[in-house]
Structure 1
Amino acid sequence: MTDSHSDREGSTHFGYSEVPLSEKQHLVDDVFHKVARRYDVMNDLMSGGLHRLWKDTFAAKVNARNRKGFKHLDVAGGTGDVAFRIAKASGPDAEITVLDINGDMLEVGRDRAREKGIDEKLEFVQANAESLPFPDNHFDAYTIAFGIRNVPRIQIGLEEAHRVLKPGGRFLCLEFSQVNVPGLDKIYEAYSFNVIPAVGKLVAGDGEPYRYLVESIRQFPAADEFERMIRKAGFRRTGYERLTGGVVAIHSGWKY
């Protein structure tokens, strides 16, 4: 189901369920309230630990090193995984803003930033990706990792990303995609629906949040369709790079 269809009908998907558009954000929030303190465990379960390498590759594309006055926005990044990588690579005057709608996730990120001694370099903001509390043309780069599929109105979220970026700014999105390697797709399907929820229940005591996350991956647009959505939001020089046989993709676009 595409985002435009969801807007038109006043409903959208929550995993494989159809829900009123107005209810999705609350349902997604509930999922992340449940997993906030076990977020790293969740990502390890979802990716077999590969999310760490994917995020290294993703953050490196921001190219934050030696950019004076660099301003970066990481959306749906509450626990700081991507922002910490960018902060480490950027100069001393860089401003890194971590935005998330979920306060529990942000609290995890603040705690981790203090432990790493980099909390002064980061600002944590609780807000909605569909209504960013920043002026137009403000940031040099925008990242969102494994978060765009949880935004109820994806097209509006993309348009907001375009609005807050400076001309010449770059949009980067890391998201689960569609496996395009024969054989691997069947293995990945079985792992996703049979292993992840079961292990999630064993480790976290509740398998349902993990089942939703697996289902949400299957409901997300194919890579070429998502690229069209990025272009519709106003971005140019768009493209995507598949990693690990298409398990994830890094999408990119530039604001002119």
Structure 2
Amino acid sequence: MSEQRTTASGGMETAFGFKKVGEGEKQGLVNEVFHRVAGRYDLMNDLMSGGLHRLWKEGMVAWLSPPKRPGYRALDVAGGTGDVAFRIVDASSGQAQVTVLDINGSMLGVGRERAEKRGLGGNLTFVEANAEELPFPDASFDAYAIAFGIRNVPHIDRALAEAFRVLRPGGRFLCLEFSDVEMPVLEKAYEAWSFHMIPRIGQVVTGDGEPYRYLVESIRKFPNQENFAAMIRRAGFSRVTWRNYSGGIAALHSGWKI
């Protein structure tokens, strides 16, 4: 595609997919997308990753390796449906306390319902708030996780600064996001699938293809692995690194508050 990725200097603030919008407009447009897809969000991730997002999330939580002891607190940002939070609780043998934060009430409604069915109400707290202005005191959490959400935040630098603020010294930041495919043959196949098939499948499955068009465009605009890692370092994190999944279709970034 001819559209260029944004860089470590920014640009996502006014990028609603490939459309340029006013800096104050993006959040409302993104909210509307997720109100429309909330009930089919996990299906959406299946469509966009060929089901691989489940394995990537397992890898994310395995790298986090939450301890099997009481008192461990994690924040799952943009995690409305609870997919990552449930895995953190399971990996901690039911010891972790996870706050699921999302700006979208529809997404949180799906997560609460799923949590009740799984009997995890005692481990999870659901909070509707903005990743750019977290409603928590400094040094509140041992871990901050965000999966497939940060590219939808208008001011990514503010979200990263907030992540650093609410983590305790020694706390871990993990971000799983669709990224820059680093294998040319795979990149062409994935791009064809994303731009031509996913919106069509979304139209068939949900009756609405436009949200899916935005989501695949937003992937193409998001900074590549190196530029996003630079943004994480700029927020104050140390030992910043990343792991590519499936040739870079997704990347898992890690940083520590030291």
Smaller-chain TM-score bracket = over 0.9
Equivalent AA in structure 1 for residue 132 of structure 2: E
Equivalent AA in structure 2 for residue 194 of structure 1: H
1:32 pairs with one of 28, 31, 34: 34
1:129 pairs with one of 128, 131, 140: 131
Match of 2:184 in 1: 182
Match of 2:110 in 1: 108
Equivalent AA in structure 2 for residue 38 of structure 1: R
2:99 pairs with one of 79, 97, 100: 97
> Which deviates more, 37-46 or 103-112?
37-46
Partner deviation per Cα, 1:108-146 (whole Å, 9 max, x = no partner): 000000011111210000000000000001100000000
1:15 pairs with one of 14, 17, 20: 17
Match of 1:213 in 2: 215
2:63 pairs with one of 61, 70, 91: 61
2:68–2:95 Cα contact (<8 Å) kept: no
2:64 and 2:125 mapped to 1: Cα distance?
Answer: 18
Does residue 198 in structure 1 map to residue 226 in structure 2? no
1:47 and 1:92 mapped to 2: Cα distance?
Answer: 28
2:68–2:96 Cα contact (<8 Å) kept: no
> Which deviates more, 233-242 or 113-122?
113-122
How much does 1:54 deviate?
0.7
> Which deviates more, 44-53 or 57-66?
57-66
How much does 1:106 deviate?
0.1
2:180 and 2:140 mapped to 1: Cα distance?
Answer: 33
Q: Extract unaligned runs of 5+ from structure 2.
A: 1-5
Does residue 231 in structure 1 map to residue 233 in structure 2? yes
1:64–1:91 Cα contact (<8 Å) kept: no
How much does 1:56 deviate?
0.6
Aligned-pair identity in percent equals 62
1:182 and 1:224 mapped to 2: Cα distance?
Answer: 18
2:112 and 2:89 mapped to 1: Cα distance?
Answer: 14
Does the residue aligned with 2:252 lie in a helix, a strand or coil? strand
1:244 pairs with one of 243, 246, 250: 246
Equivalent AA in structure 1 for residue 184 of structure 2: P
Does residue 154 in structure 1 map to residue 156 in structure 2? yes
1:196 and 1:132 mapped to 2: Cα distance?
Answer: 33
1:185 and 1:64 mapped to 2: Cα distance?
Answer: 33
1:68–1:91 Cα contact (<8 Å) kept: no
Scaled by the length of structure 2, the TM-score of the pair is: 0.95
1:247 and 1:100 mapped to 2: Cα distance?
Answer: 24
1:92 and 1:29 mapped to 2: Cα distance?
Answer: 32
2:96–2:123 Cα contact (<8 Å) kept: yes
Equivalent AA in structure 2 for residue 86 of structure 1: I
Does the residue aligned with 1:20 lie in a helix, a strand or coil? coil
Partner deviation per Cα, 1:62-86 (whole Å, 9 max, x = no partner): 2113243101000000000000000
* Structure 1 segments (4+ residues) deviating >6 Å: none
In the alignment of these two chains, the number of paired residues is 253
Match of 1:51 in 2: 53
Match of 2:165 in 1: 163
Equivalent AA in structure 1 for residue 123 of structure 2: K
Equivalent AA in structure 2 for residue 97 of structure 1: T
Equivalent AA in structure 2 for residue 234 of structure 1: G
2:93 and 2:168 mapped to 1: Cα distance?
Answer: 19
1:175 and 1:92 mapped to 2: Cα distance?
Answer: 26
Match of 1:83 in 2: 85
Equivalent AA in structure 1 for residue 71 of structure 2: G
How much does 1:182 deviate?
2.5
RMSD: 1.3
Match of 2:147 in 1: 145
1:159 and 1:132 mapped to 2: Cα distance?
Answer: 10
